[in-house]
Structure 1
Amino acid sequence: MTFPSPHLSRRQMLAASAAVVVAFSAASCTQAESPTPVPTPAGPAPTPSDPWRPLAHLTAEKNWLNDPNGLVYHDGTYHAFYQYNPQGNSWGNMSWGHSTSKDLVHWEQQPVAMEASPDEEIFSGCIVMDKNNASGLGSAETPPMVALYTSAYGKNGALPQGSQAQSVAFSLDNGTTWQKYQGNPVLNLAPTNNNFRDPKITWYEPGRYWVMATVVADAQVVKLFKSTDLLRWEYLSDFSGVGAQGGLWEVPELLHMDVEDSTAKKWVMLLSINPGGIAGGSGMQYFVGEFDGRRFTAENAAAPGAPLTESQWLDHGADYYAANSISGAPGDKPVLLGWMGNWDYAQDVPTTPWRGSMAIPRELTLVRGAKRLELRSAIAGAARETLDRSGEVKSKNLTVGSSPQDLGQEFRGRTQLIELDMDLKSAREAGVLLRHSSSASETGLRISYNKETGSVRVDRSQAGTSNFSGKFSPFHEVALPSPGNKVHLTILLDSSSVEVFAAGGTAVISDTFFPDWDNTGSSAFSMEGDTDFTVTTRGL
């Protein structure tokens, strides 16, 4: 969970936090005391008056949304809690919003789960099902959902104003209502710290205890703790001194994963950084290594100060941040939900009355790369099954030379799942142009592969409105591990976002963009030679 301007000094950040507290309205306090909040309806589909709202991604019906928090699957329902401002369309009044889904594509917004007060804002955290009631907060018949979250204290909080510590809340009705634990905070540093946040819990089976990963964000340190009851926490170790160091470290998570096609298992540390990401501003790096129950040790990790290309990145686009796994999700692979935003410009994007969306949920696989173990991302199984059932499949085979070729009416949807195969016979570069106008096919979202550099690029510089921020970077690219003449891309296009999966998901680019409503043209292009295309789309 970041403050809105991560480039500020600590003193400026504290002043910003205090200003947020002062700005609470009487209406906010009244809403927080309401015993029976009225559910907010699910967000509407995109329309000409709301042209950029995604159709297949989680958004709030109105107001600001950022980092996903308590992500949990229980009794056939996916719960996504997230940083939310009930009072406006910019960062502030940090509370936990709540949405639910059966399929990870269609989401229904629920009442605000925990609302901020002048004494305490509800920053990022996680949820686990305490099935054996180890916390004692429920019963054997009604085990509790337990949330660990960061308390950001205001003027009259339990700790000095501006300080952050970890607290507990619990629900006995499947996440509908929440009670705060009377012994909060359950974990604090001495002396108190203003950037101690983002608890995420992993069960460590050999020791039969939970491990919590947290950060001291401005010191680039992950701190690990353990507990058998989710209430009393014992310090284990620190993780620091490797990887990208250019900004705040946030939203850490330890995952225990199988290595594909092997009996081996490894531990993976996910870690967001802001600024200092590979695409500028916000980004997500990861480390693969060992965890012995006390200490995580990264293997083959980039040294601090090394070029960013030496670090391992979960996504090479500008808009993928703070992703963490859904506790209890079906299957044997971690399923992540991430925020589709970048703190360089997130508060300036021109959407209204909502601002902020989540990326499509993804499942992770740990694979052996040429030099080290790597993570591979794919659209999560439940989401992919839903998308595959959502529309009629249309396919086209064509050879493109020096003149771009229109892909036709079937490829004019604002939301599409596209499978793209290209064989660059004699061409240097080839790709597709999406969401371009009928009169100017050179504009639009340009997705291409260059066989000379072996890289995939997403260019949004001519894809629509971009004058809202000078930091809205024009393009992002990633080099493929095994370049050649042929490439396969999976592209999820959704109103104002695109997610491109290449090299079997080991190379991903996620970006937002803001096209005109009427710009729905799609075409294929080839540079300096011929390219064979096979393009399949499923309109959603």
Structure 2
Amino acid sequence: MTSTTTRDRYRPRLHYTPARNWINDPNGLVFHRGVYHLFYQHNPFGTDWGNMSWGHATSPDLQSWTEQPVAIRCDESESIFSGSAVVDESNTSGLGDGVAPPMVAVYTSAYGPSSPRPGVQAQSLAYSLDEGQTWTKYAGNPVLDRGSANFRDPKVFRYEGPAGAYWVMVAVEAEEQRVLLYKSANLIDWEFLSDFRMAAPGIGVWECPDLFELPVDGEPGRTAWVLVVSTNPGGVAGGSGTRYFLGEFDGVRFAEIPGSRSWLDWGRDYYAAVSFNGLPAPDAGPARRVMIGWMNNWDYAAATPTDAWRSAMSLPRELALRNLDGRLRLIQRPIVPPSSDPTQAPRVVLPRGEACRVRVGALPGGSFGVRFGSGDGDAAILAVDAAAREVRLDRTSSGLVDFHEGFASVERAPLDTVDGRVELDVFIDACSLEVFVQGGLATITDLVFPRGEQLEIEVFADSEATVDVFEVGRL
């Protein structure tokens, strides 16, 4: 993951990517016995989309990842599309061996022409009795079949509340832009609960739903539910993107809080984000929520200028809900190693490929920002416009941009002044920028492919802006 050869010049240091071949959606994120398991859409045979299978990586800390053998492979009859994984502690499925609880993957079978269900997408199971190292497909697959060509991406979680205790599946009828909810006592037999859709649907398909509960302002007794849906096309910055809705879930139906919906990320390259199952609760409230997304965009994902591998995952982000001026807001905080040797000079030059963190703080007024250059005149520009109340990330001259006509772009995120200040937290890796605005009230994630051999980081400000914090630390 840290090669710096010419052929691998854009391989990230902080972000997970496999040694070879294509990846997209994170799947089956689950924490079990001190290990974080990241499964993901993977082509074991090439750098283009196809032969969809589940790749697998593990981590003790969400920072260092070890690639594991391919977990669930496609075959002649089905591709293994997106889904989720749970640990069936009580063996409700009967798939355990009486010794270890089974890890159960719930995935979409995308049936091919040679199968008995050509063109159908249905939900299937696979299970592991050795901590996710080897998998067996359930003999009775599929376990949920609507006869649909676009019924996919099941996220399963354990619900325990006033309506009872059971498994809940959140899936989509993608082209109908509709979220479907089901329940099951055993992960095998599923009963329809309800559906959710917007009153005025937009363009594109809905994919990769997630539904979870979070405390408000850290108070376990005061909670709301978050429904996450990815859409392609129709993203806020163009192409694919991920949005969220806040509301209540009573075990049967999700009811949106009016005016609560927003975008999970305002950049071009954050899609199919889902959260980990199995994380412990900090107190008596809901479990922690840590989310990872696919760091790419379907508009140009097949054309990005990498060689043996293609695409990476985002930084893990811990989620929280905050009441700000009477409105609930979703907060995202990155999980990263501590930075070392922080520098506070207004201009810092590092060798290209370094991973680092940049912190900027300022009093509102005027405009200011950071230039991320590459030593050859190219630069990505991050700018705060206090008058327009927005943060802009301009990658139109950031390096290699002409590999696809849709890549060069300017992203915009809303700016809320908090406690009379503006604060930015930026994480730079070999081919990406992840910007956290105002402690994670908004984020911008963009790929960049600099051409030069240096990383030049420089702050700028007009006469009306007062920048009082500028710090660069290596990661």
3-state SS in 2 of match to 1:235: strand
Aligned to 1:119: 77
Assess, with a 3 A threshold, how the Cα gap between structure 1 residues 276 and 493 changes in structure 2: closer, same or farther: same
CA distance in 1, matches of 2:351, 2:330: 31
Matches within 5 A, 1:304-343: 311-330=261-280, 331=282, 332-343=287-298
CA distance in 1, matches of 2:159, 2:73: 31
Q: Which amino acid in the other structure matches residue 255 of structure 1?
A: F
Which of 373, 397, 408 is matched with 1:435 structurally?
A: 373
3-state SS in 2 of match to 1:113: strand
Identical-residue share of aligned pairs (%): 43
Higher mean Cα deviation, 258-267 or 461-470? Answer: 258-267
Matching of residue 274 in structure 1 with residue 232 in structure 2:
yes
Q: Which amino acid in the other structure matches residue 233 of structure 1?
A: W
Aligned to 1:234: 191
Aligned to 1:463: 398
The Cα shift of 1:411 comes to 9.0
TM-score, length basis structure 2: 0.94
The Cα shift of 1:485 comes to 7.1
Which of 26, 32, 39 is matched with 1:81 structurally?
A: 39
3-state SS in 2 of match to 1:135: coil
CA distance in 1, matches of 2:328, 2:211: 16
CA distance in 2, matches of 1:444, 1:533: 23
Greater strand fraction, Structure 1 or Structure 2: 2
Aligned to 2:356: 416
The Cα shift of 1:527 comes to 3.2
Q: Is the contact made by 2:350 and 2:455 (CA closer than 8 Å) also made in structure 1?
A: no
Assess, with a 3 A threshold, how the Cα gap between structure 1 residues 509 and 452 changes in structure 2: closer, same or farther: same
Q: Which amino acid in the other structure matches residue 354 of structure 1?
A: W
Aligned to 2:325: 370
Greater helix fraction, Structure 1 or Structure 2: 1
CA distance in 1, matches of 2:19, 2:305: 15
Post-superposition CA distance 1:158-216 (Å, at most 9, x none): 42x11100000000000000000000000011xx1100000001211021101100000
Q: Is the contact made by 1:44 and 1:61 (CA closer than 8 Å) also made in structure 2?
A: no
CA distance in 2, matches of 1:108, 1:445: 31
Aligned to 2:438: 503
3-state SS in 1 of match to 2:8: coil
Matching of residue 358 in structure 1 with residue 293 in structure 2:
no
CA distance in 2, matches of 1:413, 1:84: 25
Aligned to 1:516: 451
3-state SS in 1 of match to 2:439: helix
Matching of residue 176 in structure 1 with residue 116 in structure 2:
no
Matching of residue 392 in structure 1 with residue 340 in structure 2:
yes
The Cα shift of 1:76 comes to 1.3
Assess, with a 3 A threshold, how the Cα gap between structure 1 residues 241 and 529 changes in structure 2: closer, same or farther: closer
The Cα shift of 1:372 comes to 2.8
Assess, with a 3 A threshold, how the Cα gap between structure 1 residues 294 and 458 changes in structure 2: closer, same or farther: same
Assess, with a 3 A threshold, how the Cα gap between structure 1 residues 136 and 280 changes in structure 2: closer, same or farther: same
Q: Is the contact made by 1:334 and 1:363 (CA closer than 8 Å) also made in structure 2?
A: yes
Higher mean Cα deviation, 48-57 or 254-263? Answer: 254-263
The Cα shift of 1:529 comes to 4.9
- Unaligned ranges ≥5, structure 1: 1-42, 303-310, 398-404
CA distance in 1, matches of 2:322, 2:200: 20
Q: Which amino acid in the other structure matches residue 234 of structure 1?
A: E
Aligned to 1:106: 64
CA distance in 2, matches of 1:520, 1:59: 22
Q: Which amino acid in the other structure matches residue 432 of structure 1?
A: V
Aligned to 1:22: none
CA distance in 2, matches of 1:89, 1:412: 24
Assess, with a 3 A threshold, how the Cα gap between structure 1 residues 373 and 486 changes in structure 2: closer, same or farther: closer
Aligned to 1:35: none
Post-superposition CA distance 1:377-398 (Å, at most 9, x none): 0013xxx3xx11xx5232316x
CA distance in 1, matches of 2:7, 2:251: 53
Q: Is the contact made by 1:366 and 1:373 (CA closer than 8 Å) also made in structure 2?
A: yes
Q: Is the contact made by 2:389 and 2:414 (CA closer than 8 Å) also made in structure 1?
A: yes
Aligned to 1:284: 242
Q: Which amino acid in the other structure matches residue 228 of structure 1?
A: A
Which of 225, 236, 259 is matched with 2:182 structurally?
A: 225
CA distance in 2, matches of 1:510, 1:456: 12
Q: Is the contact made by 2:9 and 2:353 (CA closer than 8 Å) also made in structure 1?
A: no
Q: Which amino acid in the other structure matches residue 257 of structure 2?
A: E
Q: Which amino acid in the other structure matches residue 394 of structure 2?
A: D
CA distance in 2, matches of 1:124, 1:530: 46
TM-score, length basis structure 1: 0.83
CA distance in 2, matches of 1:344, 1:237: 32
